[in-house]
Structure 1
Amino acid sequence: MDELFFTGLGAGAGAGDGFFRIAAATPKIRVADVEGNAASILACVRSAAAAGVGALALPELCLTGYTCADLFLDRALLRACEDALARLLAETAELPVLFTVGLPVAHGEAVYNCAAVCCAGRLLGLSAKRHLPNYGEFYERRWFAPAPLHLSGAVPFAGQGPVPFGAGLVFRCTDPGMDAVAVGVEICEDLWVPQPPSVAMALEQGATVILNPSASDEVIGKAEYRRQLVSQQSARLYCAYAYADAGEGESTTDLVFAGENLIAENGSLLARTPLFSCEMATADVDLDRLLAERRRSTTWAGPAFPSGGTAGVGFSYRPGAARDGAAAGEDGRGAGEREGSGAPLMRSALEVDRVFPRTPFVPADRGEVAERCETIFGLQAAGLKTRLAHTGSRHAVIGLSGGLDSTLALLVTVRAFDALGLPRSGIHAVSMPGFGTTARTRGNAETLASALGADFREVSIHEAVRQHFEDIGHDPAVTDVTYENSQARERTQILMDLANQAGGMVIGTGDLSELALGWATYNGDHMSMYAVNASVPKTLVRHLVRYAAGLYGGAIERTLLDILDTPVSPELLPPTGDGQIAQRTEDLVGPYELHDFFLYHLLRFGFAPGKIFRMACRSFAGSYDAHTVWSWLRVFYRRFFAQQFKRSCLPDGPKVGSVTLSPRGDWRMPSDASARLWLDEVDALEPER
């Protein structure tokens, strides 16, 4: 990133935005070489700490090698593991990273396949594997006992006095500002069963990060299934999931281990290492987003009857802190506040190694855009088809301006009519030239309507609006809001009356971005009988129209492409001397790509202004400087709050995405809610020019 670009980003620029760096790594090992393996593990931990990783997963039984077989029952090997873990704890006492070490642990009359969870020189607990495979080449029950269904208290180990033992342990950071860090550990096969332990860890203990030390042998087709499994579990639990796989050094007597490390967040695979490598996968996961997903989900709740097999364990990243993870030291400062502590604080959006898509409403994979567009067209047309059939309407009236939104509404209406078997001549596309209408937009409207087989007519509003100005005593030379809105309301009246004449419905054209900003005339273009674009943002409208252009081809494609190249404008002010559009929407309210970015992260995750600002600065670096982003963010919040009254009485319209503003369920907000809290935070962010 350009360092100069981010100078003077205002208050809170260094504050944590909920991002937390996690990793999964595969050390090179030798089977049964405990000392050598401990050295490889230590190198991985040091590398992770240097990279600012807060939680690191290392493979299953990596201290011995997963393929030790009957050696797991050997007393010498068991003693060597405990001694090596004690030395690892001593060597990592100053490293603020939570990490797992896979090793066999003898307890009572049994040996358990465990992950020792360590941080800053302390053994936080021994997480034991619950589900032991006993098929193919995996005969773990020959050597290990499954973790008990209920936690079995604490045991002394590696020179540290009693530590929690069993499955279902969740390690929650107690350092200031890091309460969202709650790490659960399940081991390999635990993920592959119908009811993984991580489910209870997330539901009962609030685990936001799951680490999986694994030893997954490689066969044809398994890698893709494993990636899907990890991604789906992260989606199901609204969590981050790090999967560390055994690799080079394991015995190849019968199996090969490929060392593929994976990190997923809420269904998305953020990072993975190549097969047959010993590398580290690292990603900055957004814990703030994960908690937002859980809070907005009406089905996210703990089970009616807790399993009793989970427990929370507090910890601190501060060297020398007690195991209970006291939140602050004697001087009242917590992790990362002491000079040189190096604790991995929650990261700012400006610090993370992560990309935030500029157009979050549009698939990042361009190959998916066509599929997404077809689905959206289908949803819009299905909604309108049902409404037309229910009301018995055989006619639809659309104000066709030659702009993007009315073009999309016409394309959707054509689909709905075709699906119902109605003649397209029942679609009445009405051009209503006013004081700002240009020949380009009027011509495109007529060409498109005629090419699609719709009925096209023109009704000039010049004389009607002039009469209205005379009636209310408005000077037409004053091109103020009255001048503009009178035209919009006259057009709506014409459309409503034409719909009455035909016994049809007025199809609304306004989009989601305009609703968010209140960029609509109340009881003008704000009103219709069914609003097909109400949940489609402007950045997505463009893709839908371009997609339709490719489907139709010929004259329709040429017209649609010209509409795409036309500046977005309500055309309510007189054109320039050479007949060009004088009123450009984005010059007045700001770039839609910025507003759609703001809108998505506000409504989808409830992010605070500071986080949205820093994410936008990172995403749009090189296109907009920090002050430009800040100024339009302030406009967004001011308009979003001030214009809620327009959204409180919206007409019906189909929901096509996860973010909508329908007052009947998706967004409920008082029309007179104060914006002060949000604007104060935005003002505090003002960057230097």
Structure 2
Amino acid sequence: MAKLDILMAQLNTRVGDFEGNADRVLAVARRAVGERSAPVIVFPELTLSGYPPEDLLLRPSLEGRVQRTLARLRRELPAEAVVVLGYPRRRDGNLYNMAGVLTGGALVAEYAKRCLPNYQVFDEKRYFSGGDAAQLLEIAGVPVALSVCEDIWDEAPILDSAAAGAKLLLNLNASPFHRGKQRERREVVGARARTAGLPVVYVNQVGGQDELVFDGGSFAVDANGEVMASAPHFREAECWVSVEVDDGGPVRLGGTQVAPPEDLAATWEALVLGVRDYVDKNGFPGVVLGLSGGVDSALTLAVAVEALGADRVEAVMMPFRYTSSMSVEDAAEQSRLLGVRHSVISIEGAYNAFMQALAPHFEGLAPDTTEENLQARCRGVLLMSLSNKGGALVLTTGNKSELAVGYSTLYGDMAGGFDVLKDVPKTLVYALCRYRNSLGPCIPERVIDRPPSAELAPDQRDDDSLPAYPVLDDILERYVEQDESAEAIIAAGLPREQVERVVRLVDRNEYKRRQAPIGVRITRRGFGRDRRYPITSAWLPGD
């Protein structure tokens, strides 16, 4: 009987930090050899460069960085460890997404990723050439095959590995989160294992990278597709998988298991991790946001405090003549509950100064949304000035529903560096508020219960300008995330007038979304990398 001790090492790497990522690899390897003899340590896809490196892959210095880092690892890794990790590597003029095996001071095997994703947030055909063959190596007498991420979503690579005589497949991943993705991964990997009769160890990256969040959740399945070991989600982890191989008998896997989080908990954790890593990896001392007394800014504040701690978060209430006393009170109460710095800066003086300067140009013209937008822009100026002076990142608070239909103000409530709720529909905002309150007092109940309003005019309500949010979000999910036409959405039972209006608003507000800050992606199709529509277009709205 042959035995392997495999460590699933899901790391939070940093894009472009070859030396720092190598330090992390070495630290894990040294811990592993202190726990098990001759461990096999499997790291995520493109561990050395971080993922996704995007156009850093086109830099002329890339290959030199890879070579120097691999040389360092060959020198410094414990000789008894077998280390499997990912990196970009050039061969014969082509760049490949590689998985390499280092042991005994040598690079003993390499595998080039065969299936290159080029959909949703992925652009791998822009950078990489695809491999064309399985790669096997013997580890302690066990024939082990390698694959990388997308290879497991296609049947051919695992079937080729099984046909070549593999008894186990190691799959290196940088698989980003969206709602429902954990279940989808386990179903796909389980199906591939059953089809090929081959156990799979699936190791995923964890951490935030710009708008993407990688949720970890590494796991191992046996040849029947049953999960036999699994790692936590949304944090770094080192989890052991024991493998026993009998001559002619089944391959047995064992290890501890961690249940994946439920949907709302996973979405909350994704938002928290995305904010934490964006702020920390970019070196911001903290964040500042406008706390209006409404539900969106309330949830944004809650996420920020969970991500960074109360001492790194500042909440600013910026009242105007239309701001209700309830909003002022609720903003102060939530700040008290969470222990953040809270300040109040009225925009009345700034607004009046602008209106006085504009008076000659506005003479004889009736008030309209111009005056409402000016209020938002006064607030944006104040927040950006606080950011400039203290260095804190401005978090904007707009949600996906508003961003989709342009219910937001350029250089006003869209002014800032990171939008926590950019990919969170309004109905999900409410669900997440209730979820957060289930963990402990955080958001005053009347913030959640009151009708949503931007409070830019007397007695204003969001549903004066928009369909009710459950209807709006249904239309948006069908049109934006599922690519249904307006007629298909109407045929599903949604009101024609509202559908046609919403899809027109989505199409004509692309110019605003291009100027919006980035934010955490938590759906299958977020605005930005996922959905790249032209601003100038004669395409008929709603088709």
String of CA shifts for 1:349-380, please: whole Å, max 9, x gaps: xxxxxxxxxxxxxxxxxxx9982222112111
1:572-611 to 2 correspondences below 5 Å: 572-574=456-458, 582-611=459-488
Pick aligned residue for 1:404 from 295, 304, 309: 295
State whether residues 526 and 646 of structure 1, in contact with CA within 8 Å, keep that contact through their aligned partners in structure 2.
no
Residue 61 of structure 1 corresponds to none
Partner amino acid for 2:467?
G
Residue in 1 aligned with 2:447? Answer: 563
Q: Displacement of 1:395 after TM fit?
A: 2.3
Match of 1:635 among 501, 519, 529: 501
Deviation by residue 1:534-581 (Cα, 9 ceiling, x = unmatched): 11110100000011111113xx35x1x21111111111013xxxxxxx
Tell me whether 1:448 sits opposite 2:448 in the alignment.
no
Q: Is the 8 A contact 2:486 2:500 kept in 1?
A: no
TM-score, reference length from structure 1: 0.40
Deviations 1:275-307 (A, max 9, x none): xxxxxxxxxxxxxxxxxxxxxxxxxxxxxxxxx
The Cα of 1:668 is off from its aligned counterpart by 0.4
2:530 aligned partner: 666
Equivalence map 1:133-532=2 (5 Å): 232=187, 371-418=262-309, 424-473=310-359, 474=362, 478-532=366-420
- Report SS of the residue matched to 2:439: helix
Consecutive unaligned residues of structure 2, counting only runs of 5 or more, are 1-153, 157-182, 193-258
Q: Secondary structure at the match of 2:343?
A: strand
**Amino acid in structure 1 at the alignment position of 2:267:** I
- Aligned in 2, Cα 1:234/1:377: closer, same or farther, shift over 3 Å? closer
Counterpart of 1:72 in structure 2 is none
**CA positional deviation for 1:235:** 11
Name the structure, 1 or 2, with higher relative contact order (CA <8 Å, separation 6+).
1
1:458 and 1:477, CA in 2 relative to 1: closer, same or farther beyond 3 A?
A: farther
Is the 2:286–2:308 contact (alpha carbons within 8 Å) kept by the matching residues of 1?
no
Post-superposition Cα deviations, 1:150-180, rounded to whole Å, max 9, x if no partner, equal: xxxxxxxxxxxxxxxxxxxxxxxxxxxxxxx
Q: Can you list the C-alpha shifts for 1:298-335, whole angstroms capped at 9, x where unaligned?
A: xxxxxxxxxxxxxxxxxxxxxxxxxxxxxxxxxxxxxx
Given that 2:347 and 2:378 are in contact with CA atoms closer than 8 Å, whether structure 1 keeps it comes out as yes
Q: Give how far 1:520 is off.
A: 0.5
User: Percent identity of the aligned residues?
Assistant: 28
Q: SS state of the match for residue 507, structure 2?
A: helix
- How far apart are the structure 2 equivalents of 1:571 and 1:537? 20
What residue in structure 2 maps to residue 26 of structure 1?
none
In 2 relative to 1, CA 495–677 (structure 1 residues): closer, same or farther, beyond 3 Å? closer
Q: Helix, strand or coil for the counterpart of 2:262?
A: helix
Aligned residues of 2:507 and 2:541 also touching (Cα < 8 A): no
Find the aligned partners of 2:322 and 2:337 in 1 and give their Cα distance: 25
The separation in 2 between residues aligned to 1:668 and 1:431, in whole angstroms, is: 35
Cα distance change on mapping 1:470 and 1:391 into 2, 3 Å: same
Gap change, CA 1:603 and 1:235, over 3 Å in 2: farther
The aligned runs of 1:668-687 (5 Å cut-off) are 668-674=532-538, 676=540, 678=542
Cα distance in 1, alignment partners of residues 260 and 325 from structure 2: 32
Taking structure 2 as the reference length, what is the TM-score of the superposition? 0.51
Q: 1:676 to 1:430 in 2, by over 3 A?
A: same
Within 5 Å, give how 1:66-81 maps onto structure 2. none
How far has the Cα of 1:476 moved from its partner?
Answer: 11
Contact 2:423-2:520 within 8 A present in 1 as well: yes
| SS, match of residue 456 in structure 1 | strand
Q: CA deviation at 1:478?
A: 4.2
CA distance, structure 2, for counterparts of residue 634 and residue 434 of structure 1: 34
Q: CA RMSD in A?
A: 2.8
Q: What is the identity, as a one-letter code, of the residue corresponding to 1:543?
A: A
User: What SS does structure 1 have at the residue aligned with 2:316?
Assistant: strand
Cα separation, 1, equivalents of 2:282 and 2:485: 43
Q: Deviations over 1:38-62 (max 9, x none)?
A: xxxxxxxxxxxxxxxxxxxxxxxxx
The residue that corresponds to 2:12 in the other structure is none
Which residue type is aligned with residue 673 of structure 1? Answer: S
**Closer, same or farther: CA 452–517 of 1 in aligned 2, 3 Å:** same
- Following superposition, which runs of at least 4 residues in structure 1 exceed 4 angstroms of deviation? 231-237, 475-478
Structure 1 residues 476 and 669: CA distance shift in structure 2, 3 A? same
CA offsets, 1:604-634, max 9 Å, x none?
32222121112244xxxxxxxxxxx111111
Matched, 1:547 2:435: yes
| Structure 2 counterpart of 1:86 | none
Aligned partner of 2:125 in structure 1 is none
Distance (whole Å) between structure 1 residues aligned to residue 292 and residue 265 of structure 2: 24
Deviations 1:439-472 (A, max 9, x none): 1111101110111000000000011101101101
